Amino acid sequence: MQTQIDSDVRTIPQAPVFIPEDDLGYETIGSDIRKGYIQKIFTVYDERVGVNTRFGITEAVGDFYSPRHRHTFAQVRFMLDGVIAYGNDLVERGDCMYLPEGVRYGPMQPAKKEEAQGEVPPNKLFDMQFMGASRVPYHHPDDLLRARQELMKSGEFPGDGFYHREDGKRIDAWEALDENITGKKTVFLPKREEDPVIMHSGSFRWTESVDHPGVAYKYLGNFTDVGPMLLIYRVSAGSVLPSGTSPWQQVFCLMEGSIEYQNAQYDAATVGYYPPGIAHDRLVALSDATIFSVQWSPLGENYVAPAAGVIF
């Protein structure tokens, strides 16, 4: 059953939010402009405090394809299953990608490996987009939807990653949407990085927490002066991630196991959001759990970068 996105509320949550995969809303923009993508998302958007992000679970199916392109926002992706070709690079299960704002990546397409015997394996990833350090606003899905509907009056999005105008010219599909919303040509600010960063998490070591028994983490990296900081947590059954309050934002994906938060159970493929400056309760692992975490600064008045190795 498809869940409708609550698009009328554009305020930051006042408590942590946990969303099982089945309860995520279907986002149609990405699947319309780049064929073969099924995106289920949750949006956190509050222009007053400079917080805007969307995150969720994406499946790349069949002969999916996305041409080489770039965005004005930052992205983080973690491969949950399968393998995808990003240009000459293969991104496989357990790999994490940081896609900086303004940096080109792709094309993205199926990667057929010898052991797959010519069949395209399933591809599933945690996927998030958010306003980066340059503070170029990230568009709300509703605004993108309205822009697409307006552009369809004088052209089409056939699914090849481009917008085809009636005069025969074409431009990148996302840039067409951006230009419709802003009323001006898309501007990409000077790049901070040159290429996407691919992290093979299996090659990183676990660090046991001194203060929290049964908890270990892999520190994948911390980028720019406001993040994102990327970590993986391993929480043994019965162990606890503590309560507290963080000054920065956090998005997470429960990749394996089951957890309990405020007497509710959540299983693998649950995603969630911890708002900045809002207290959160403890989290208990009901079974051995693995959690991918993205932490970064809110870009309003509270302009602070996360410190390395912070526990929830």
pLDDT digits (tens, 9 = 90+) for 196-253: 999 999 999 999 998 899 999 999 999 988 889 999 999 999 999 999 998 889 999 9
44-66 pLDDT, tens digit each = 998 777 788 999 999 998 888 99
211 and 165 part of one domain: no
**Res 114: pLDDT:** 47
69 and 213 part of one domain: no
- Domain-embedded: residue 308: no
Contact 28, 4 (CB under 8 A): no
151 and 64 part of one domain: yes
For residue 147, the enclosing domain spans 17-182
How far apart CA 48 and CA 45 sit, in angstroms, is: 9
CA 65 from centroid of its chain's CA atoms: 19
Q: Is the pLDDT of residue 6 over 70?
A: no
222 and 270 part of one domain: yes
Give how many domains the chain has, as a whole number. Answer: 2
**Res 17: pLDDT:** 96
24 and 137 part of one domain: yes
Q: Is the pLDDT of residue 4 over 60?
A: no
- Domain-embedded: residue 187: no
87 and 173 part of one domain: yes
- Domain-embedded: residue 191: no
42 and 170 part of one domain: yes
67 and 214 part of one domain: no
**pLDDT range class, residue 277, cuts 50, 70, 90:** confident
68 and 131 part of one domain: yes
- Domain-embedded: residue 208: yes
How far apart CA 158 and CA 35 sit, in angstroms, is: 8
136 and 31 part of one domain: yes
- The answer to whether the bond into 13 is cis (omega within 30° of 0) is no
* CA-closest candidate to residue 300, choices 276, 278, 272: 276
Neighbours of 133 (CB within 10 A): 21
Residue 113: which CATH number?
Answer: 2.60.120.10
CA distances, 72 to each of 17, 161, 194 (Å): 26, 16, 14
166 and 210 part of one domain: no
39 and 170 part of one domain: yes
* CA-closest candidate to residue 200, choices 90, 55, 74: 90
**Res 120: pLDDT:** 58
Q: Is the pLDDT of residue 10 over 80?
A: no
- Domain-embedded: residue 1: no
